[in-house]
């Protein structure tokens, strides 16, 4: 993503393995809840031109028993919090690009952890696109450019990471032009 955007941009990665949208994880810990750490993350990097949000995969874990609709509402809650922040330029809220993560498959070592996730994951992109439209955010669907690594059904290989980086750069530029 940084290479695609060029030297005029600084890309800050705040990915965290196992991060959920709004759920405290009873096994991995409440620190996995994105909403709990969001304001601190935003404030530590201000000012921000744009924030890309790609969440929802870990909400598909069977332990949360969340519908795709509820996961999309959790993502919407995160987007709303970003919209309430003053961490953008001139004390405004930063722009937001909402990103649909690559759909999971129920295979490999995570089959039980993500039992029932594949069906929900398939409906997430359209639900997240609707959230983006309601909230005036940009949108990108990573299912259009990448697939998960079939070894474990959750993670991405190097080829997928490269494709996602390029697609994210395009989505950021498009959002900055339109919004």
Instruction: Using pLDDT thresholds of 50, 70 and 90, give the confidence band for residue 178.
Output: confident
Q: Give the pLDDT of residue 171.
A: 97
Average per-residue pLDDT for the chain: 96
pLDDT digits 0-9 by tens, 60-76: 999 999 999 999 999 99
For residue 30, which of 40, 41, 22 has the smallest C-alpha distance? 22
Contacts of 56 (CB under 8 A, 6+ apart): 21, 71, 72, 74, 75, 100, 101, 124, 128
Our CA angle for 105, 72, 51, nearest 5°, is 100
Q: Say whether pLDDT at 12 is over 90.
A: yes
Whole-structure pTM value: 0.95
């Amino acid at each position: 993503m940084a290479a695609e955007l060029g030297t005029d941009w600084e890309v800050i990665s705040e990915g965290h393995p196992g991060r959920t949208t709004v759920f405290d994880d009873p096994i991995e810990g409440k620190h996995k809840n994105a909403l709990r750490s969001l304001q601190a993350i935003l404030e530590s990097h201000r000012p921000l031109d744009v924030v890309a949000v790609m969440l929802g995969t870990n909400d598909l874990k069977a332990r949360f028993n969340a519908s795709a609709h509820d996961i999309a509402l959790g993502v919407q809650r995160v987007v709303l919090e970003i919209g309430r922040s003053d961490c953008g330029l001139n004390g405004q809220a930063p722009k937001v690009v909402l990103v649909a993560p690559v759909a999971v498959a129920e295979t490999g070592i995570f089959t039980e952890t993500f039992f029932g996730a594949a069906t929900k994951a398939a409906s997430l992109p359209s639900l997240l696109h609707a959230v983006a439209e309601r909230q005036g955010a940009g949108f990108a669907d990573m299912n259009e450019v990448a697939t998960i690594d079939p070894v474990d059904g959750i993670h991405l290989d190097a080829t997928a990471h490269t494709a996602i980086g390029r697609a994210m750069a395009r989505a950021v530029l498009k959002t900055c032009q339109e919004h």
